Amino acid sequence: MSVNSQYASALRELKTKQAHLLEEVGDQWRTPEDLFWGINAVFGPFDMDLFTDGDNAHCARYYTAEDNALTQDWTADLNGGKGFANPPYSRPCKDEDGNDMTGMITIMNKAKTERDQGAKLAFLIRGVPSETWWPELADHICFIKGRVGFKLPDWFIPANDKQKASSAGFAGAIAIFDKEWRGGPISYIHRDSLRAQGKKLLDMVEAAAEKKAATYITGTIETRPDTAEQGEPIIAPQVSAKIDIEEQIAKVLTEPANSVWPIEVLTLVEQAFSANPNTKTEFRQQTLCERVNQRLLDNVLKNDIIAELNSMLARCEQVEDAA
């Protein structure tokens, strides 16, 4: 149910202005596409964007300022999926009913509460542990090496030539709230690595979308014998229908390859490869990591997991140069 507030009203008015100043952007700085999809590849896939202005959402489902995310049931809405957030950093404000709408302390407390109820969340935040709102009780903090820059919103119209975004950026981190997390409390990943992984996914999505579009258009070419010359192709009215790009994204990203595994997972996989040195390949390692991670979540004993991995590798064709 949408709510009204001074915050939401001011945002609607801002988006309709004919020109903007950088200082007006406030909470609406946009996460770069490649950075988001890189985070999605490592910690997703994400099903919902929790804090958006309606135009900058990265997921098919999202909350807007009118929805007031802090009044929503994230756990129920995610329904087992994962949520992403680039949260607002503005000073605390409330909606017309007195509910908090912004304020990082409140947002982080909300994340902990939802996590305890089963929600799985990833927050892209400033990497500044000295902040009073710093999520000490997050299950994992991944510090991003290299400063993180953000994009101006699509609706931003510069009032003059001075309204250009700075490329300086700031230190960033990814806070994971997930009570099933089995890795260590802290890790590090370079910004360029995230962006590179994100670009790979974007390229895959673009290729899939182009293929879908070409197939769709080709499939709607018909011959109209009553008015067209014999063999004259025409495009049927269906071609104007919206091509389901979200479907293509879902196919590519339903189970993206994870490149960050808990130490416990990697240790068991390496033990298996040590016993079967001529079987190691990148694909097999990824497969075993997925299997081990699931077995640990199912509370299977480590000795039984190792036995299962050894049995799997014993059936694999050997790679002579793997040892």
Q: How many CB atoms lie within 10 A of CB 310?
A: 14
Task: List beta partners, residue 233.
Answer: 223
Closest to 148 in 3D by CA, of 166, 131, 122, 132: 166
CA 150/CA 171 separation, integer angstroms: 12
- How large is the average pLDDT for residues 229-240? 46
pLDDT band at 240 (very low <50, low <70, confident <90, very high): very low
Higher-scoring residue by pLDDT: 260, 128: 128
Predicted confidence at residue 1, as pLDDT, reads 47
Q: Using the predicted structure, report yes or no on whether residue 281 has a pLDDT greater than 80.
A: yes
Tell me how many degrees the CA angle 102-104-108 measures, rounded to the nearest 5: 115
Predicted confidence at residue 242, as pLDDT, reads 43
CA 66/CA 95 separation, integer angstroms: 9
pTM of the shown model: 0.67
Q: Tokens at residue 129, please?
A: 């542990």
Beta strands in 21-169 (DSSP E): 48-49, 61-62, 82-85, 120-126, 140-148
**Radius of gyration over every alpha carbon of the chain, rounded to an integer in angstroms:** 24
Tell me which DSSP letter residue 152 carries. Answer: P
3 touches 67 (CB < 8 A): yes
CA 56/CA 211 separation, integer angstroms: 26
3-state helix, strand, coil in the chain (%, to 5): 40, 15, 45
Q: Burial level of 130, CB count in 10 A (0-12/13-18/19+)?
A: exposed
- How confident is the prediction for the chain on average, in pLDDT? 83
Q: Using the predicted structure, report yes or no on whether residue 60 has a pLDDT greater than 60.
A: yes
4-41: buried (b, 16+ CB within 10 Å) or exposed (e) per residue?
ebebbeebeebbeeeebebeebeebbbbbebbbbbbbb
Q: Give Cβ neighbours of residue 233 (< 8 Å, ≥ 6 apart).
A: 221, 222, 223
Q: Is 220 helix (H, G, I), strand (E, B) or coil?
A: coil
Q: Using the predicted structure, report yes or no on whether residue 241 has a pLDDT greater than 60.
A: no
pLDDT band at 261 (very low <50, low <70, confident <90, very high): confident
Closest to 27 in 3D by CA, of 16, 37, 15: 15
